[in-house]
Structure 1
Amino acid sequence: MSTAPQLEEPVEPVDEPVDGRTARAVRTRDGLVDATIALVEEGDLRPTAPRIAERAGVSVRSVFQHFDDLDSLFAAMGARVVERLAKLIGPIDPTAPQAERVAEFVRQRCLVSEAVTPINRAAILQAPGSSTIGRQFASGHGFVRAVTEEVFEAELEAAGPRRQQLLDGLIVAGSWPTWNLLRTLEHRSVEEATAAVAGMVDLLVWGAGR
């Protein structure tokens, strides 16, 4: 009598508990990141492990089962925010008319700056003690710099020896600190702040090469 078929029966069910645990772990980890983002966006710029755990509906112990420390959790939050921001930006044709490039550059920079405001405010508080957050800031700045150079390549070339000054001005005009100053200290609305950034960028590129 052959018993071969019986050997294959338990093979498939063996992997199911492992897959289930993995899926639950991913959901818990994602839930902790989402909870941290939600707290920060509501104004809690220094969320603690107990507050994050309560918001995610898990134990405090779960926070440190999925992250080595809060710095690791905040770094994961930063990575998630970058994924969200990627949906707000797109390529800008460097050969398009200047007015079109200015309008799209300003639109994208202002959208991103407004969206990232609460996260940046929290990250600034954490950055002094976090090399990971510092690297994320540096990476973001590098991206903005590269985009600015690509979009305004013609104007930067025309600026000649003042190329660096023009590039510096464009980076500052489209930066989050400038946006935060306009929105917070100058009390501008989103529309007013956007118009202010557009005016700065327009003046800068209009004067390129003069």
Structure 2
Amino acid sequence: MSEAAVMPRGNAVPAEVSDMVRTDGRNRRAAATRRKIIEAAKAMIEETSEAPTVVGVAKRADVSVRSVFQHFGDVQSLFVTVVDSVGENVQMTAPPTIDRPLEARVEALIQGLVELFDKIVPLRVAAGQFAGHPALLERGLALRQQLRDATFKAFEPEFAALADQAAREELADAIGAALSLDAWIVLRRRDGLSVERAGAIWRLTLTALLEHELGKARQ
């Protein structure tokens, strides 16, 4: 039932109220159309690992091509919006607390990364079509910083045992390179490994890096 339908019969509707009703209705329809476009683009990226075309999104969302351009301007803007929408629903889990044994912390961090990265692989692969886009570069840097921060927090005792800040930064860089989203894509897409096998490789890699640096610190 529309807003106008609940007004008492016989009562005149002030012009400003009528305008507000129409405006509110247009805003709701516009928001619904925007959501349909975003969800259609998400589904297409998940299915193909490719950035969808405006025509393809319009067809999937059952809207006009003009509507897509009205809401997003171009396919790059739509893609960035999809990235942000996915990011709102897919978050890195909190790093494990340092009171747990090293093996348990390694397992918890790897499990969190595996669950996160495997969900966003199609999005990252599709983003390659927009290499160099400032907004996507910014979000990639933010994700890498999240991983770096989680690494320092999860393995605080191990980092504290290293000789100096340079050694800590070097270890963090090594972990970041070994456990990057691009490295996960290599294992899953190029090498065709299962989630379980790829995760086991990462656990071994992370454990080896930590133990190697701790071994040097004890010498």
TM-score range, shorter chain: 0.7 to 0.9
Answering whether residue 123 of structure 2 is matched by residue 116 of structure 1, we say: no
In structure 2, the residue corresponding to 1:96 is in which secondary structure?
A: coil
Q: Residue by residue, what CA displacement relative to the aligned partner does 1:70-97 show, whole Å, maximum 9, x if unpaired? A: 22111101101111212x6234223332
Is the 2:95–2:108 Cα contact (8 Å) retained in structure 1?
no
Match of 1:3 in 2: none
- Asked whether the 8 Å contact 2:37–2:57 carries over to 1, the reply is yes
AA in 2 matched with 1:144: L
Kindly state the Cα deviation for residue 68 of structure 1 after the two structures are TM-superposed.
2.3
- Give the number of aligned pairs: 203
For structure 1, which runs of at least 5 residues remain unmatched after alignment?
Answer: 1-5
Q: Percent identity?
A: 30
Distance 1:112 1:181 in 2: 16
The residue that corresponds to 2:59 in the other structure is: 54
Q: 1:127 aligns with which of 127, 131, 153?
A: 131
Question: Aligned partner of 1:146: which letter?
Answer: D
* Cα displacement (A) at 1:62: 0.1
Return closer, same or farther for 1:53/1:151 CA change in 2, 3 Å cut-off: same
Code of the residue aligned with 2:141 in structure 1: it is: A
1:42 equivalent in alignment to 2:47: yes
Cα distance, 1:32 vs structure 2: 0.9
1:126-145 residue CA offsets vs partner (Å, 9 max, x unmatched)? 123x2111111112112211
Deviation (angstroms), 1:119: 0.2
TM-score computed with the length of structure 2 as normaliser: 0.84
Q: After TM superposition, what 4+ stretches of structure 1 lie above 4 angstroms from structure 2?
A: 6-9, 11-14
Matched position secondary structure for 1:167: helix
Distance 2:107 2:49 in 1: 34
Select the residue among 89, 93, 96 that pairs with 2:97.
Answer: 93
Q: CA RMSD in A?
A: 2.1
Q: Which runs of 5+ in 2 are unaligned?
A: 1-9
